[in-house]
Structure 1
């Protein structure tokens, strides 16, 4: 399963503030990557945890 979220604009916006869109999209990607890595490394702990 892939979760994709990006920020886009119209043709003019993409030409005028391309770096801003690229930065925002990179931050979203890195954030999702950190969540994925954390979940995959801690899933065993979450399953083994006893909820009372």
Structure 2
């Protein structure tokens, strides 16, 4: 089972980053498929193809 941030944690992080909660939720959903962790509890690392040419 993968770890999930609580609503409170997402709200706190949005405030600390100076962004809206919906914006942070969108990034979590799109970039991390809803979770920042893989099923084996390792962090999700997004491969940026344009960086690794």
Higher-Rg structure is: 1
Which has the bigger relative contact order, CA under 8 A and spacing at least 6?
2
Q: TM-score, normalised by structure 2?
A: 0.31
The answer to which structure has the higher helix fraction is 1
